[in-house]
């Protein structure tokens, strides 16, 4: 039997213990020898003891049924026990208990057998009423508990859109464990009798209490009124849930409390029907998908199409002699739902007033923004929209150089003065980490010293990065606002839409951090702390500013934007993305320019299927995002453990840990690895709360250099071509496995199988290899693991694109458009002419973006001076794809003459600006 320490998650533990119980009870039912029977009895009893406390948090099979089976076991009715346990396991894995009553005793179960869930077609399941569980918190005895369950049951009506079961727990602590353990819970009813402490001792469950208490811990609320305190705590961990507070206090007493997610307070009454209707209404509010529903309705209407859209209603397909296969493949609904804003009946994405507007409002609620906008051309477009909406020509923007290319192009279009920030390099894996806060602060202070802070407009960072490095968003914003109190933040969360739905990750998302900051800035405690810090920082040196955890002034403006590729991590058709806004000055300052930017980049024929999928994806995360993200983390952790503990794999592969990917000075908690074969699981909570950077546990980077294949070859020739496994990113000696909300334990198992097979094949190959072949292999491995070119920092913009030699920002737009004139450009060969030019003292300046894949971000941007380090890196790169570089011609650079002319134009422009400045 596996011990509890083997488990990362209590959900996995529960699942596996039931499976083991099924196997052991089956064996017990057929055991013939007393000695074997005695051993099995001990085993079963231990499993019942373990599962007993766990089951108090779940409605199925329910505590009463569980105790009944346990009694049967004590009476020696082993065959009955085996039968019931087998039914439970089946119902848990098929989800049958969500759709119907599952009888557990043999007589009634036999009759029910033909209704087996496995044979139900998906359409029938789709029509079944969705199921959820309601957590009732009250310290009641067994009799009262039965009374509570039966009162809720009596309220059921055939017309109810959903059905639910109730789970009763006695205390505030149990309630918090319950909502973090039982993902079926959608609503919580807090009754006056609740107590504070739980009797639960299982560490896998009690550690949830850390998650629920936030930085202050739940002890902070022990002396407060437990009911309202619980509603507030639930809002921290699962804000999507609905809470109902039943209280015997007076209205006046409750009125002053912050009630968190409480939807309604019931005073001194036991009106179960009112409660029941409210519970259903609360879930209905999340279930509602205004645009998807409107699209479904639209598709049922008979319409004649006299519009430029022959595919609409599928007529051009169904009447075809040649493309019938397309119709057969997709089915008719996709065509029936093809429509456009101008064909009437539905809303317009460009001017939403109806169901699209409502769907966006629902998304805003779900993701914690103040405004949310849908996009049907991916986050590439979202980034350009936000940059254009906020950045005026000449504004200074600080941006991580390894950000997605859409930002670089957006900054060109907006005419920004760009300051590139360097992420810390991970030379041994040829990938970058993220930008240390110290670097950002240093740059802001530098610009302040130059008197340019008023022109600094935006900080743009990628959270989390492709490789899974996650910022401490709240801290970055706080400290930057302390230097520049109206700085705007654009967080590229292309890979992070799922994060909101896990209490672990949520604190590291832009929208959550913005909401927390807004509240904090309003508080008197913060104002006092800030005043105190100001006194200490009076006459402080730059070094002291860098070493202090800075506090923003109370009148700082919180101006935060996040762009998310919903399609990358949640349910949405490809290109479905969202822009989330939490900007105190949006309405006053940005709304109009945002609208213009949205018009600039959005197609006038947006795809309505994508919009509908965004709407449905939002419903999903509000109702089961918590469960799916939890399972996703679980799958990634299982993958880590399996690879790290498999004896055959360690010879060729290695999982990169937090310590490998984040230097220790940015990991204040000291956490090194999520799993260690000797020490087991580490608690990730501390690192998520405190560390400057954390590694997103759902991303697993595997070092494959030990196989002798580089990352790209391993991806295409081994994983993809041989085993049909798709992955997205590689570096020179690593591949990245991204789990997603659809990843299952069996897909993880398949991956492990494949890795073991690869390792076995390599073992055999090396066994038979000649001396020379072995040497060749060792050399390849050594090349991949050790001889890696150091990743170059951003050099600088050429003076022709800067306002002064000592300033970091550069006019990327002028450089970009200067290259449109062929005469301004020349090509220099990497190993020949470029080297000669640099040795002769010429400044070689790139005329294009040069983007090698991997790593996939520009190592040169237009206007950037080529440094020796960059040259060395480019020479050492053996990747086949370098966007912007012509292997036949060389590197596209500006001619000296073009740079001279540009420098003159630049000087003239600067003089004109200075004169203007004097006049106005």
Ligand X SMILES: Cc1ncc(COP(=O)(O)O)c(C=O)c1O
Chain contacts with ligand X (rule: CB under 6 A): 378-380, 404, 406, 462, 466, 492, 494, 565, 577
Nearer to ligand X, 205 or 562 (CB): 562
Q: Smallest distance from the beta carbon of 700 to ligand X, in angstroms?
A: 17
Select from 274, 281, 285, 286 the least CA-distant residue to 246.
Answer: 274
Contact 462, 490 (CB under 8 A): no
How far apart (Å, rounded) are the C-alpha atoms in residues 682 and 679?
8
Contact 393, 411 (CB under 8 A): no
DSSP string, 229-248: HHHHHHHHH-TTSEEEEEES
Nearer to ligand X, 492 or 811 (CB): 492
Nearer to ligand X, 134 or 851 (CB): 851
Nearer to ligand X, 497 or 818 (CB): 497
Handedness of CA 644, 650, 655, 656 (dihedral sign): positive
Nearer to ligand X, 386 or 898 (CB): 386
Q: Smallest distance from the beta carbon of 480 to ligand X, in angstroms?
A: 20
φ/ψ region of 314 (left if φ > 0, alpha if ψ in -120 to 50, else beta) reads left
Structure tokens at 29: 């039912």
Nearer to ligand X, 338 or 467 (CB): 467
User: Residue 851: beta bridge partners?
Assistant: 883
Nearer to ligand X, 176 or 490 (CB): 490
Q: Smallest distance from the beta carbon of 860 to ligand X, in angstroms?
A: 19
3-state secondary structure of 551: coil
H helices present in 717-852, as ranges: 721-723, 745-768, 771-785, 812-818, 833-839
Contact 151, 96 (CB under 8 A): no
Nearer to ligand X, 405 or 780 (CB): 405
How far apart (Å, rounded) are the C-alpha atoms in residues 352 and 376?
14
CA distances from 563 to 307, 499, 858 (A): 33, 13, 21
Strands (DSSP E) found in 271-325: none
Nearer to ligand X, 204 or 386 (CB): 386
How far apart (Å, rounded) are the C-alpha atoms in residues 391 and 414?
6
- Per-residue three-class SS string for 629-685: HHHHHHHHHHHHHHHHHCCCHHHCCEECCHHHHCCHHHCCCCCCCCEECCCEECCCH
Q: Smallest distance from the beta carbon of 432 to ligand X, in angstroms?
A: 12
Pairing of strands 825-828, 425-426: unpaired
615: cis peptide before it, omega within 30°? Answer: no
Strand arrangement, sheet containing 185-190: 163-169, 131-137, 185-190, 242-247, 262-267
Give the up-direction half-sphere exposure of residue 275: CA atoms within 13 A in the CB hemisphere.
28
Q: Smallest distance from the beta carbon of 565 to ligand X, in angstroms?
A: 3
Instruction: Tally Cβ neighbours within 10 Å of residue 190.
Output: 28
Nearer to ligand X, 180 or 579 (CB): 579
Nearer to ligand X, 404 or 506 (CB): 404
3-state secondary structure of 823: helix
Q: Smallest distance from the beta carbon of 408 to ligand X, in angstroms?
A: 11
Nearer to ligand X, 369 or 379 (CB): 379
Nearer to ligand X, 466 or 489 (CB): 466
Q: What is the DSSP letter of 590?
A: I
CA distances from 505 to 464, 481, 692 (A): 11, 23, 14
Contacts of 679 (CB under 8 A, 6+ apart): none
Nearer to ligand X, 503 or 606 (CB): 606
Q: Smallest distance from the beta carbon of 414 to ligand X, in angstroms?
A: 17
Q: Smallest distance from the beta carbon of 703 to ligand X, in angstroms?
A: 21
Element (H, E) at 189: strand 185-190
Q: Smallest distance from the beta carbon of 360 to ligand X, in angstroms?
A: 18
Q: Is 739 exposed, middle or buried (0-12, 13-18, 19+ CB in 10 A)?
A: buried
Q: Smallest distance from the beta carbon of 97 to ligand X, in angstroms?
A: 38
Element (H, E) at 527: helix 524-537
How far apart (Å, rounded) are the C-alpha atoms in residues 456 and 398?
8
Q: Smallest distance from the beta carbon of 853 to ligand X, in angstroms?
A: 11
φ/ψ region of 95 (left if φ > 0, alpha if ψ in -120 to 50, else beta) reads left
Q: Is 101 exposed, middle or buried (0-12, 13-18, 19+ CB in 10 A)?
A: exposed
Q: Smallest distance from the beta carbon of 466 to ligand X, in angstroms?
A: 5
User: How many Å is the Cα radius of gyration of the chain?
Assistant: 31
Closest residue to bound ligand X by CB: 378
Nearer to ligand X, 362 or 383 (CB): 383
Number of alpha helices (DSSP H) and beta strands (DSSP E) in the chain:
39, 27
Contact 741, 627 (CB under 8 A): no
3-state secondary structure of 158: coil
Contact 752, 450 (CB under 8 A): no
Q: Smallest distance from the beta carbon of 404 to ligand X, in angstroms?
A: 3
Nearer to ligand X, 12 or 739 (CB): 739
Nearer to ligand X, 378 or 858 (CB): 378
Nearer to ligand X, 493 or 691 (CB): 493
């Amino acid at each position: 039997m596996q011990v509890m320490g083997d488990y990362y998650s209590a959900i996995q533990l529960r699942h596996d213990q039931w499976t083991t119980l099924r196997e052991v009870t089956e064996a017990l039912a057929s055991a013939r020898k007393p000695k074997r029977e005695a051993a099995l009895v001990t085993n079963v009893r231990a499993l019942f003891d373990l599962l007993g406390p766990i089951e108090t948090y779940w409605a199925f099979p329910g505590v009463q049924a569980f105790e009944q089976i346990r009694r049967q076991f004590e009476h020696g009715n082993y065959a009955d026990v085996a039968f019931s346990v087998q039914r439970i396991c089946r119902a848990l894995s098929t989800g049958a208990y969500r759709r119907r009553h599952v009888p557990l005793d043999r007589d009634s179960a036999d009759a029910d057998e033909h209704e087996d869930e496995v044979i139900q077609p998906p359409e029938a399941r789709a029509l079944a009423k969705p199921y959820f569980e309601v957590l009732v918190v009250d310290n009641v005895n067994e009799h009262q508990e039965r009374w509570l369950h039966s009162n809720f049951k009596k309220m059921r009506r055939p017309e109810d859109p959903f059905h639910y079961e109730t789970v009763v727990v006695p205390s505030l602590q149990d309630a918090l464990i319950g909502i973090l353990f039982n993902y079926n819970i959608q609503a919580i009813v807090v009754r006056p009798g609740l107590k504070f402490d739980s009797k639960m001792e299982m560490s896998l469950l009690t550690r949830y209490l850390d998650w629920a208490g936030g930085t202050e811990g739940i002890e902070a609320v022990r002396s407060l009124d437990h009911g309202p305190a619980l509603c507030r705590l639930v809002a921290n961990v699962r804000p999507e849930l609905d809470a109902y507070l039943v209280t015997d206090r007076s209205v006046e007493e409750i009125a002053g409390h912050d009630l968190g997610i409480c939807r309604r307070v019931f005073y001194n009454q036991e009106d179960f029907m009112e409660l029941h209707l409210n519970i259903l209404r609360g879930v209905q509010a999340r279930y509602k998908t205004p645009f998807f529903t409107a699209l479904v309705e639209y598709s049922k209407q008979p319409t004649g199409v006299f519009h430029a859209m022959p595919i609409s209603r599928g007529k051009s397909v169904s009447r075809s002699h040649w493309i019938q296969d397309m119709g057969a493949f997709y089915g008719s609904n996709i065509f029936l739902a093809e429509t456009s804003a101008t064909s009437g009946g539905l809303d317009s994405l460009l001017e939403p007033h109806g169901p699209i507007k409502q769907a966006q409002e629902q998304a805003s609620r779900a993701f914690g923004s103040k405004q949310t906008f849908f996009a049907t051309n991916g986050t590439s477009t979202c980034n350009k929209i936000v940059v254009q909406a906020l950045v005026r020509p000449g504004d200074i923007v600080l941006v991580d150089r390894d950000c997605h290319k859409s930002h670089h192009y957006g900054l060109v279009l907006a005419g920004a003065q760009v300051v590139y920030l360097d992420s810390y390099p991970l030379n041994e894996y040829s990938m970058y980490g993220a930008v240390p806060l110290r670097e950002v602060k240093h740059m802001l202070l530098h610009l302040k010293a130059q008197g340019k802070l008023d022109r600094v407009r935006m900080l743009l960072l990628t959270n989390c990065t492709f490789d899974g490095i996650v910022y401490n968003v709240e801290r970055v914003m706080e400290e930057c606002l302390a230097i520049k109190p109206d700085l705007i933040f654009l967080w590229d969360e292309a890979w992070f839409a799922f994060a909101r739905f896990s209490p672990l990750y949520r604190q590291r998302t832009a929208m959550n951090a913005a909401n927390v900051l807004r509240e904090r800035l309003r508080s008197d405690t913060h104002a006092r702390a800030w005043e105190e810090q100001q006194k200490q920082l009076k006459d402080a040196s730059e070094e002291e500013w860098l070493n202090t955890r800075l506090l923003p002034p109370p009148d700082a403006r919180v101006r935060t934007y996040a762009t998310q590729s919903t399609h990358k991590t949640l349910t949405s058709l490809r290109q479905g993305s969202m822009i989330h806004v939490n900007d105190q000055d949006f309405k006053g300052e940005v709304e109009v320019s945002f609208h213009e930017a949205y018009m600039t980049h959005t197609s006038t024929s947006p795809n309505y299927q994508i919009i509908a999928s965004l709407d449905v994806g939002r419903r999903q995360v509000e109702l089961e995002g918590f469960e799916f993200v939890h399972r996703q983390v679980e799958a990634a952790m299982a993958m880590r453990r399996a690879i790290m503990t498999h004896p055959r794999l360690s010879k060729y592969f290695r999982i990169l840990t937090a310590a490998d990917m984040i230097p220790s000075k940015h990991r204040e908690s000291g956490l090194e690895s999520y799993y260690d074969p000797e020490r087991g699981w580490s608690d990730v909570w501390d690192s998520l709360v405190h560390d400057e950077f954390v590694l997103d546990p759902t991303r697993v980077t595997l070092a494959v250099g030990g196989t002798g294949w580089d990352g790209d070859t391993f991806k295409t020739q081994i994983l993809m071509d041989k085993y049909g496994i798709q992955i997205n990113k590689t570096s020179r000696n690593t591949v990245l496995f991204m789990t997603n909300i659809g990843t299952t334990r069996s897909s993880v198992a398949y991956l492990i199988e494949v890795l073991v097979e690869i390792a076995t094949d390599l073992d055999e190959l090396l066994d038979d290899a000649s001396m020379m072949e072995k040497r060749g292999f060792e050399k390849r491995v050594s090349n991949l693991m050790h001889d890696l070119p150091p990743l170059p920092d951003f050099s600088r913009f050429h003076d022709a694109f800067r306002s002064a030699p000592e300033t970091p920002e550069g006019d990327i737009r002028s450089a970009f458009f200067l290259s449109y004139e062929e005469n301004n450009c020349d090509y220099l060969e990497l190993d020949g002419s470029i080297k000669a030019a640099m040795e002769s003292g010429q400044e070689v300046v790139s005329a294009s973006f040069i983007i090698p894949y991997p790593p996939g971000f520009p190592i040169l941007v237009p206007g950037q001076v080529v440094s020796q380090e960059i040259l060395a890196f480019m020479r050492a790169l053996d990747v086949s794809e370098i966007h912007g570089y012509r292997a036949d011609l060389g590197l596209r650079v500006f001619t000296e003459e073009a740079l001279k002319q540009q420098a003159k134009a630049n000087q003239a422009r600067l003089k004109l600006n200075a004169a203007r400045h004097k006049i106005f």
